[in-house]
Amino acid sequence: MLRSTLIMPTVVLALVALSGCAAEPVAEPPVSASAAPTESAASVYTCDDIAANDDIATALAPADGTQPSPVAATRPGMTLTDYAVPSLGGLSCSWRVGAAAGSPLEYPADSDWAYLTVKVMPDGAASWAPSALGDGPADPLVDIGGIEAATGCGDPGCFISAPVGDAWVEIFASTIFFGIGEGHFGGLTADAILAQMKPLAVSVFTALTDAASSQLVWPAVDLVEREPACTGALKAQGVAMALGVDSLEYEIYDSSTMDPIWFDRYVTQSAGLFTCYVEAAGVSGTSITVGYDLAGIVDTMISEPDTAAALPQIVLQGAVDGEHAVKICTDTSSFCTVIFSLGQSAYQVESRTDAVAVAEAIIAQAR
């Protein structure tokens, strides 16, 4: 039976620390060194605990069946949501074969990379829905290691998604090409790629099912609930000046009001992200996404393998020590994305006019 979708906006997440119970002192006999550890003493799971190297390599094998040698690396993305899972108390694991990907806005024809990601969002199972890359229900579901999972392939890649225990688990394989059967996976059908991914899924599902509860408690940011509003640092006056217009209005998109039909939307909702879309004469394609208390996401972007090299850092006027920014632009148009930290929060500005000017206006109005 399918689980019903339950909207659970997670706007307040506590920073949870592991705690153990000290044993009472005893005289005789001494505690055996081989005694089984208590649940509270079990170590928190890492990526090595949920995914075997052979299963990762199998999932990323090309059509000729050669076993590649994956390395830990994160595919460069250009949204706050791409990097938010660890801040929300989840686990995010990623591996690559082939040369490292560059800018997420560039698609060199000779690129041969492929990435595989495993993301675990605790407390997400009740909101899980069998979506097909956000396009609608995945039908039929597939039994993978005793877990009913949604599977599918499309332009972004191939995925396996399932509720495991109380967590929402998403496994995703992608290449540079929009068609998943091209590039690194050229010559493979969608069904063949999914078949390669299933042993990894079994490994992940089994590890999570067998884990002690304390092993699935990862650090989380303490999010403070705030009402989404395009005011304060986003005041229209300063942003309008940055865009070279006399005035503007905002249309707000509040993720907490939307059903988390697919994984990224659930992450967006859990993070409390909201977006202010600019409406002004002569201005198109400008938006500002706000992630309160999520400045650490930008630190992740500039430090992870592959993302650090692919996302150019810039210095924004008004920024202070400890605040960082990256700028991602196309070579063929004026479109740019600037993601930056400001105090304890993160912002994502997309614009075809001047994303840097908008970002600096936000900083000026905040200070």
State pLDDT tens for residues 346-364. 999 999 989 999 999 999 9
Instruction: State the pLDDT confidence band at 1, using cuts at 50, 70 and 90.
Output: very low
Q: Which residues, in sequence order, are CB contacts of 22 under 8 Å at separation 6+?
A: none
State pLDDT tens for residues 297-329. 999 999 999 999 999 999 999 999 999 999 999
Q: What is the pLDDT of residue 332?
A: 67
Domain boundaries 232-366, corresponding CATH code: 3.40.1000
Q: What is the pLDDT of residue 41?
A: 56
CA-nearest of 290, 283, 287 to 251 is 287
Mean of the pLDDT values across residues 151-160?
Answer: 86
Which is it for the CA torsion 175, 220, 124, 263, positive or negative?
negative
Three-state SS for 78?
Answer: coil
Mean of the pLDDT values across residues 160-164?
Answer: 96
Give bridge partners of residue 164 from the DSSP assignment. Answer: 167
Largest CA distance in the chain: 83
Domain map (residue ranges) of the chain: 39-216, 232-366
Instruction: State the pLDDT confidence band at 105, using cuts at 50, 70 and 90.
Output: confident
User: In the predicted model, is pLDDT for residue 63 greater than 70?
Assistant: yes
Instruction: State the pLDDT confidence band at 14, using cuts at 50, 70 and 90.
Output: very low
Q: What is the pLDDT of residue 27?
A: 39
User: In the predicted model, is pLDDT for residue 237 greater than 80?
Assistant: yes
Mean of the pLDDT values across residues 237-252?
Answer: 96
Residue 189's CB is within 10 A of a number of other CB atoms, namely 13
User: In the predicted model, is pLDDT for residue 26 greater than 50?
Assistant: no
Mean of the pLDDT values across residues 184-189?
Answer: 89
Give one DSSP letter per residue of 171-211, joined into a string: EEEEESSSSTTSGGGTT--HHHHHHHHHHHHHHHHHHHHHS
The rounded mean pLDDT for the chain is: 86
Mean of the pLDDT values across residues 160-166?
Answer: 96
Q: Which residues, in sequence order, are CB contacts of 330 under 8 Å at separation 6+?
A: 105, 336
Three-state SS for 158?
Answer: strand
Four-point Cα dihedral 151, 152, 157, 160, nearest 10: 0
Q: Give the neighbor-by-neighbor strand order of the sheet with 274-279.
A: 249-254, 274-279, 287-291, 345-351, 336-342, 325-329
State pLDDT tens for residues 76-91. 999 999 999 999 999 9
Q: Are strands 336-342 and 325-329 parallel, antiparallel or unpaired?
A: antiparallel
User: In the predicted model, is pLDDT for residue 265 greater than 60?
Assistant: yes
User: In the predicted model, is pLDDT for residue 215 greater than 90?
Assistant: yes
